[in-house]
Amino acid sequence: MQYRTLGRTGIQISSLALGAMNFGRIGRTTQSEATALVDAALDAGINVIDTADMYSAGESEEMVGKAVAGRRDDIVLATKAALPMGDERNHRGASRRWLVTALEDSLRRLGVDDVDLYQIHRWDPSTSDEETLSALTDLQRAGKIRHFGSSTYPAHRIVQAQWAAREHGLSRYVTEQPGYSILQRGVETHVLPVTEEYGLGVLVWSPLASGWLSGAVREGRDITTNRSAFMPDRFDLTLPVNRARLDAVERLAKVADEAGLTMIQLALGFVTAHPAVTAALIGPRTTDHLHAQLAAADTVLSADVLDAVDAIVAPGTDLAAHEKFDTPPSLLEASLRRR
């Protein structure tokens, strides 16, 4: 396992981090299975566990808490808030009112007194940076969070938040968590250069592209990824965007075979090769999945392999741009650009 410094925090973290989104109802993972995943990950040298309050409506945090009981000090524990927790309109977002409550709820579910990294799951356009950063700074000074970061922020919002922290004398985001894979390389254009400029640690999610890069989606075979059950449009091979992805996957599979790598090793080795990336979040549902992904822990891709990947999916290119979560709201809602 490789270890890297998380931004400018001085914290050493493994280049692969355990994502717990599949713990609970989303991944149909039981407590015993979740604990076995945590045990195996820690035994392999992973020291980061990342979850969120909204994963299975809090069930993931509860399972993580039970799995790490008695060994909290050996783990860099991260969670997130801001996405809806129920139908109440104020049980979401990045306001002080909600973040104070959401953090207390997360700490209770996790069974801990503090978390190492508290992340704003998505940018909240209705709340000012000063409001959010002020609340996070106070929670940090109260000893409930050690550091805080953002997740899936557009590049310009990352910059704005850094300037707001400086302007108002507040603590700043020290990490960003963007989606990044061989098939979704758009963050290379603006987000990753910005994180490098500001010295942010970067934890990338979906490096296996929801199963597209795990070997679960291949020409002429049944699709075996769990995600196809609740995101069918992303795997409908009659759609042109998915045919383009499948074509890229088949070409990437040849690159992996010629290099003596699995598709998983190619995919994880690719994202962790980027100098801006600190760690790749993996989200296995079973220990078999975990061991297949752990095989990439020390994978280092040669320049020839990286060049071959670039020839298939050009740098900065998203093969499914409509699936991104950092699109400015004005591009999604006409009223915001037609006042």
Q: Is residue 233 part of a domain?
A: yes
Residue 76 maps to a domain: yes
Active-site residue set? 55
Per-residue pLDDT band for 323 (boundaries 50, 70, 90) equals confident
Tens digits of per-residue pLDDT, 263-291?
Answer: 999 999 999 999 999 999 999 999 999 99
Helix, strand, coil share of the chain (percent; to 5): 45, 15, 40
d(CA 167, CA 146): 21
Q: Where are the beta strands (DSSP E) in the chain?
A: 3-5, 12-14, 16-19, 48-50, 76-81, 115-120, 145-151, 175-177, 201-204, 279-282
Query: For strand 16-19 and strand 12-14, is the pairing parallel, antiparallel, or unpaired?
Result: unpaired
What distance in Å separates the CA atoms of residue 302 and residue 306, rounded to the nearest whole number?
A: 6
- Please name the amino acid found at residue 332: L
Number of structural domains the chain divides into: 1
Q: End-to-end CA distance of the chain, in Å?
A: 53
In-domain check, residue 138: yes
H helical segments located in 170-235: 191-198
Mean pLDDT value across residues 142-148: 98
Extract the tokens encoding 142: 């109260």
Residue 44 CA to residue 149 CA, distance in Å, equals 26
Q: What is the DSSP string of 229-254?
A: GT-GGGG-TTSHHHHHHHHHHHHHHH
* Assigned domain for 235 exists: yes
pLDDT, mean of residues 68-92: 96
Whether residue 209 lies inside any domain: the answer is: yes
pLDDT in the model for residue 217: 78
What does the alpha-carbon distance between residue 96 and residue 221 come to, in Å, rounded to a whole number?
A: 49
CB 337 within 8 A of CB 258: no
Which tens digit of pLDDT belongs to each residue from 187-242?
Answer: 999 999 999 999 999 999 999 998 899 988 788 777 777 676 667 788 788 889 98
- The CATH number that applies at residue 231 is 3.20.20.100
Which residue range(s) make up the domain with 284? 3-334
CB atoms within 10 A of CB 143: 9
Residue 339, in any domain of the structure: no
User: 95 by DSSP, 3-state: which?
Assistant: coil
Token pair in block for residue 254: 């040849």
What pTM was computed for the model? Answer: 0.93
Give the separation between CA 82 and CA 32, rounded to whole angstroms: 28
Distance from C-alpha of 287 to C-alpha of 168, rounded to nearest angstrom: 46
Mean pLDDT of the chain: 94
Token pair for 30 = 């039981």
Residues in the chain: 339
